Structure 1
């Protein structure tokens, strides 16, 4: 058994996130494992850009209120204890609700070869604010 060394918290880069997002790497598996786990903390209104994972992604909310949407789908509200899975190649975004912080565990696998995540454009304010009616 090996105790993993704790890495410092990392600010989510503006190219990939809107607003203040911080993450901690919990697990970055070494071959043959390709498991990835991050704790991700979103300030109110903060969110990812549109993206897709080669092998899918699972989110588990630990605190706050979050939002997730697959391209062309409905915005889904996430609360502590909720777990959401996006299948391989499905374009989606996720982040905090407008008036709440949100923390989730993000879990995904890297593919044997190629990119783990494909990143797209930022989620527009109009797309994001479509969630307001869900929270009223």
Structure 2
């Protein structure tokens, strides 16, 4: 009887180990960036990482400086958002995938979905990013690029981000 008990214990340990490995593989597979739009995702946004909570990815879409219309596709992992900031020349966002949030300082947040357009006037303090549970991608268009600068401010707190996510449900 003792021998059978040891055998059962060994089999149980083996199965537990196998399930654990499979769960780790599943977790790893879930970290892959999903295709949420037809635009390229680009590379991890390391240059601006200090202004983001979470990971974002950047793909430059326009390169002809003579056209004077800088555009990029920015993709956010779930929960990722940028710091409060403003643009001296304004900005336009066009949602191309997933679900996101946009909020101007002192106002309610806005739930963003595919096809939404956000027109941000010059000097308006705001933040944008993915909802807590969805990847998010938007095209960012720099308005008035010859005078436009990003002015980065403080990080969006977990409280502000949580409240913005809670407003989606209402």
TM band (smaller chain): 0.7 to 0.9
Q: Which has the higher contact order (CA 8 A, sep 6+)?
A: 1
Counterpart check, 1:95 vs 2:125? no
Scaled by the length of structure 2, what TM-score is found? 0.69
Give the match for residue 14 of structure 1. 49
Give the number of the structure whose residues are more often helix, by fraction. 2
- In structure 2, relative to structure 1, the CA distance for the partners of 1:90 and 1:71 (3 Å cut) is same
1:119 aligns with 2:152: yes
Distance 2:105 2:117 in 1: 18
1:71-90 alignment runs, 5 A limit: 71-90=105-124
TM-score by length of 1: 0.85
Runs of at least 5 residues in structure 1 that lack an aligned partner in the other structure = 1-5
8 Å CA contact 1:27, 1:37 repeated in 2: yes
- Match of 1:131, SS state, is helix
In the alignment, structure 2 segments of 5+ residues that lack a partner are 1-39
Residues 44 and 55 in structure 2, CA contact (< 8 A), matched pair in contact too: no
Between stretches 22-31 and 76-85, larger displacement belongs to: 22-31
Q: Within 5 Å, which residues of 2 pair with 1:34-113?
A: 34-113=68-147
Structure with higher strand content? 1
Q: Which has the larger radius of gyration?
A: 2
